[in-house]
Structure formats: structure tokens, C-alpha cells
Amino acid sequence: MNMLVMLGFALVAAMGTAVVFTGEPERQAVTLSAYGLSLTVLFILVQAPDVALSQVAVGTAVVPLMVMLAVRKVRGRRE
Amino acid sequence: MMYWVLLGLGCVVTVSCTVAATLTGDLYRRLHLLTPVTSLGAPLVGLTVALANGLSLVTGLVLLTVALLMVSGPVLGSAIGHCAAARDGSIQAGSSS
Amino acid sequence: MTQWTVAAMVLMGGGLAPALWLASRGTAVCRLIGLQLVSSVSVLVLLVLVQAIGQPSYLIVPLVLALLSFAGTLVFARLLRSAP
């Protein structure tokens, strides 16, 4: 079990780095959503199901809608 | 003892599909490696969990999750394929299908 | 170290890690394919993990994840289609 928690932490750290070093907002939104899913697995590993549930809701439903709609709005106004 | 074989088979299918998708360069070829995970790996793993739990509410919940995954996998695959083709210019961006 | 723990470790190390790698490289559509792979593999990881932990009440998380990732990926595919 300890090994699994360490593996989860490593995956979350790697994904956080990948999100930070992504340039374009559209690509960053997709990677951010994947980062949320890796965070969900970590929360289940440390036995926090409620936090994992809210992270699922934020990572898979709010990020695509809010971030992508905001990116489109900003891009439309700039042109 | 039987169901550890099922679990191992599900793990092998899932892992080989993800590794093959990582090694494949072409986008549309990678799209084909996406459905075996949901339509073969998921039922194998779900069946193992169901067999381990026996007839109970837990089994129903697991089978519901797996059924949802099996239905949504091909739909999402085709949606992503349409998205990619519309960006490539292979099909008209406004086509509804 | 039960069989469930071993299976969860195999699925996380060999399945989730390459899928996450796929979701952080290339164009937006390439990443979207990676995201879809990540969500279906993480549902499987969560199912095995809940069995390894032995708390059946946690099973609501993979169920909600399977339901919401369907909607989320559809939204991504729709919004990325019209972008240049």
C-alpha cells in the first residue's frame, strides 16, 4: 500500500510539472483535466473519498466548460 | 483461483493497449487502440470484482460502472475522430453527423 | 500484499503512467485521446483500488467518474472542433 501511495505522488508531481510547462491555453486545459484525474486516484489512495468525489466533479465537468468557454470568449474578443 | 486469471488478462489487455498507443505515432491509428480498453479490459476487471464479491449491492454497482464505460467508450471514440477530422479539414466543420 | 494491490500497481505503473504521458504531449486532439485513455484506465484503477482497500462505499467515485468523464470529453470534442 505504501508503494502505491508513493507511485500516486510521483504521478501527480509529474503531471503538475507537465501542466506548468504547457504553453497554449487550449492544450493546457486538456492536460489540466488529466491532472485532476491523477489527483483523484491519489485521494482514493489516501482514503479520502469525499475529496476525490469533488475533485472528479471539478476536474471532468467544470474545467472543460469554464476554461474552454473562457478561452473561446477571450479569443473571439481579441480578433 | 479462476478469477485471478481474468484479472491478469484484463491487466494485460489494458497495459498493452496503453503502451501501444504511446508507441504509435499516427493519430487515427492511436484512436483504434482506445476502444479495447473499454470493451475488453473493463468487463474482465469488472467480472473479477463481481466474482470476488458474490451476489450483493456492490456487484450491481461495479457492473453498472462497467456497463456505462462500455457504452460510452465507442461514442467518445467516434466523437474524438470527428473532432480530429474537422480540424484536419478531411470533413466539413459544420457537418452534423 | 494481496493480488488486488499487485493488480492496482500494474495498472497504475503500466497503464496510467503512459496514458498520462500521452495526455501531456502533442496537439490538443492528441492530448484529448490521451485524456480519454486516462479516464477509462483510472476507472479501472479505482475499481481495483477500492477492492484492495476493502471499503465498498468508495465505489461511488468510479461510478461518478465514468458518468462525468463522458460529458466532459464530449464537451472538449465539441469545443475543440470549431477552434482553428
Of the pLDDT bands very low, low, confident and very high (cuts 50, 70, 90), residue C78 is confident
Q: Is C57 on the interface with B (CB under 8 A)?
A: no
Contacting residues for A18 by C-beta, under 8 A, at least 6 apart:
A31, A35, C20, C24
Contacts of B42 in chain C (CB under 8 A): 40, 43-44
* Mean pLDDT across chain C: 89
Of the pLDDT bands very low, low, confident and very high (cuts 50, 70, 90), residue C83 is low
* Mean pLDDT across chain B: 87
Contacting residues for A51 by C-beta, under 8 A, at least 6 apart:
A43
Contacts of B65 in chain C (CB under 8 A): 43, 47, 59, 62-63, 66
Q: Which of B10, B91, C32, B77 is nearest to A60 (CA)?
A: C32
User: Can you tell me the distance from the alpha carbon of B16 to that of B3, in angstroms, rounded to the nearest whole number?
Assistant: 20
With an 8 Å Cβ cutoff, are B93 and C51 in contact?
Answer: no
Per-residue pLDDT at A69: 86
Checking if the pLDDT of B3 tops 60, the result is yes
Checking if the pLDDT of B5 tops 70, the result is yes
Per-domain residue ranges for chain B?
2-88
Per-residue pLDDT at A25: 86
Q: Provide mean pLDDT across the span C16-35.
A: 91
Per-residue pLDDT at B93: 56
Give me the average pLDDT of each 10-residue run along chain A (79 residues).
Answer: 90 93 88 93 93 92 86 82
With an 8 Å Cβ cutoff, are A26 and C60 in contact?
Answer: no
C51 burial level (CB within 10 Å; 0-12, 13-18, 19+): buried
Mutation site for C-interface testing, chosen from A27, A47, A50, A58 by largest number of C Cβ within 10 Å: A27
Q: Is C78 on the interface with A (CB under 8 A)?
A: no
Give the global pTM: 0.91
Of the pLDDT bands very low, low, confident and very high (cuts 50, 70, 90), residue B96 is low
Q: Do chains C and A touch (3 or more CB pairs under 8 A)?
A: yes
Per-residue pLDDT at B95: 55
Checking if the pLDDT of C84 tops 60, the result is no
Contact C72, A67 (CB under 8 A): no
With an 8 Å Cβ cutoff, are C61 and A69 in contact?
Answer: no
Q: Provide mean pLDDT across the span B29-57.
A: 90
With an 8 Å Cβ cutoff, are C40 and B58 in contact?
Answer: no
Per-residue pLDDT at C3: 86
